[in-house]
Amino acid sequence: MASGNGRRADVWTWDEALRGVVPPLISPLDGTGQPDAGAVDALVAHVIEAGCSGLFVLGGCGEGARLTPSQRGGIIRAAARAAAGRVPVLAGVMLPATGPVVEAARQAEKAACAVLGLGNGAPAPPLVSLAEDGRARVSALVRRHAGLLAR
């Protein structure tokens, strides 16, 4: 994300990363089912030019739980590349099991995402949630395996 002097800032805070408008984005795919980098570029440019302060990829609108790991990685990389440090990129890792969540967290970290969106697995009924201690255990496990949440 850009600092006040226009250079990329290497440090972020929760208050900075999660303020303003951080819309969930769709995940544009081309006719072959691969991430459409041009469409992601255009979408990110539109959202940033409209004044949004961050991007949330692979959340409910981006259908992250229904994409392959390759598709998810392509969407994350395309969004991070298009944002070019101007705003933080948050990646949803709301998958149906802890192993895929850890793998997705590592993938997001490699693609320069600022924050992970942890949640219940998308295939679960919407009213089902982990008990508080279960969420804490999953978050701790992801922190151990991917440095992203520990920042």
What is the rounded CA–CA span in Å between residue 114 and residue 141?
Answer: 18
Torsion sign across C-alpha atoms 137, 107, 64, 150:
positive
List the helix and strand counts (H, then E) for the chain. 5, 3
Instruction: Report if residue 139 sits inside a domain.
Output: yes
Q: Which of 135, 62, 124 is nearest to 95 (CA)?
A: 124
Range(s) of the domain holding residue 20: 14-150
What is the rounded CA–CA span in Å between residue 107 and residue 29?
Answer: 19
Instruction: Report if residue 100 sits inside a domain.
Output: yes
Instruction: Report if residue 2 sits inside a domain.
Output: no
Instruction: Report if residue 59 sits inside a domain.
Output: yes
**Most confidently modeled of 44-48, 83-87, 90-94?**
44-48
What does pLDDT average to over the chain?
Answer: 75
Reported as a single tens digit per residue, the pLDDT across 117-145 is 665 444 433 333 444 555 566 566 666 66
Q: Can you give the pLDDT at residue 97?
A: 76
Reported pTM: 0.71
E-assigned strand segments in 8-149: 55-57, 89-92, 115-117
Number of domains, the chain:
1
Instruction: Report if residue 1 sits inside a domain.
Output: no
What is the rounded CA–CA span in Å between residue 67 and residue 79?
Answer: 16
Instruction: Report if residue 54 sits inside a domain.
Output: yes
What is the rounded CA–CA span in Å between residue 28 and residue 143?
Answer: 29
Q: Can you give the pLDDT at residue 109?
A: 78
Q: Can you give the pLDDT at residue 100?
A: 81
Half-sphere exposure (CA, 13 Å, Cβ side) for 50?
13
Q: Are 89 and 52 contacting, i.e. CB atoms less than 8 angstroms apart?
A: no
Q: Which of 104, 115, 112 is nearest to 145 (CA)?
A: 104
Instruction: Report if residue 129 sits inside a domain.
Output: yes
Reported as a single tens digit per residue, the pLDDT across 95-124 is 777 778 778 888 887 776 666 666 544 443
Instruction: Report if residue 143 sits inside a domain.
Output: yes
Higher local confidence (pLDDT), 122 or 20 = 20
Instruction: Give the CATH number of the domain where residue 112 resides.
Output: 3.20.20.70
Reported as a single tens digit per residue, the pLDDT across 48-79 is 999 998 899 988 776 888 899 999 999 999 99
